[in-house]
């Protein structure tokens, strides 16, 4: 399973696009659509570069979700988990109560409520994280259209 266009747009919406490196809310140098690997203050990129970094980051977090989740997911659940791990990191997902409950077969609403606990960065509650977690929770709980199969090849995000 790969991130759908809907999941990609959720990530882009909340990350925003910045073509010059900046410090995120926890002091980590960040660029593009939330990319942090190898970023140094003073770095500048093009929008094309930002999209390439985003695709690579999405691949990495898709792999993380596929490797950590041992239950069947629909596309919306997968997208929400990729968006979540994109923001908090794969290690945070790995160690989360959210993942533990999901893999233990807890009701999906109980799992989804765990998203709402992740609204702090750098020890501060952030309204933006609250909105993001609500969006991830909503996506996680959104039923997949009847026409949308568990893995619909037509919904894949094009890779450069």
Which residues belong to the active site? 15
Dist. CA 88–CA 153, nearest whole Å: 27
Closest CA to 28 of 17, 39, 20: 39
CA 139 to chain centre: 11
Name the one residue in this structure whose structure tokens are 């410090």. Answer: 23
Contact assessment for residue 78 and residue 7, using Cβ atoms and an 8 Å cutoff: yes
Contact assessment for residue 45 and residue 19, using Cβ atoms and an 8 Å cutoff: yes
Closest CA to 69 of 80, 79, 81: 81
Dist. CA 73–CA 83, nearest whole Å: 14
Other CB atoms within a 10 A radius of the CB of residue 94 amount to: 13
């Amino acid at each position: 399973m790969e991130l759908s266009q809907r999941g990609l747009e959720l990530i882009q919406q909340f990350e925003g696009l910045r073509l010059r490196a900046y410090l995120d809310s926890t002091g980590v140098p960040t660029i593009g659509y939330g990319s942090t690997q190898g970023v140094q203050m003073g770095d500048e990129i093009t929008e094309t570069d930002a999209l390439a970094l985003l695709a690579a980051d999405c691949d990495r977090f898709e792999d993380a979700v596929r490797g950590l989740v041992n239950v069947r997911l629909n596309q919306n659940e997968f997208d929400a988990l990729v968006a979540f791990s994109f923001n908090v990191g794969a290690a945070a997902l790995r160690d989360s109560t959210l993942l533990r409950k999901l893999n233990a077969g807890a009701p999906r609403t109980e799992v989804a409520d765990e998203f709402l606990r992740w609204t702090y960065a750098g020890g501060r509650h952030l309204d933006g994280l609250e909105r993001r977690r609500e969006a991830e929770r909503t996506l996680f709980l959104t039923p997949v259209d009847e026409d949308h199969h568990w893995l619909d090849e037509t919904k894949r995000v094009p890779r450069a």
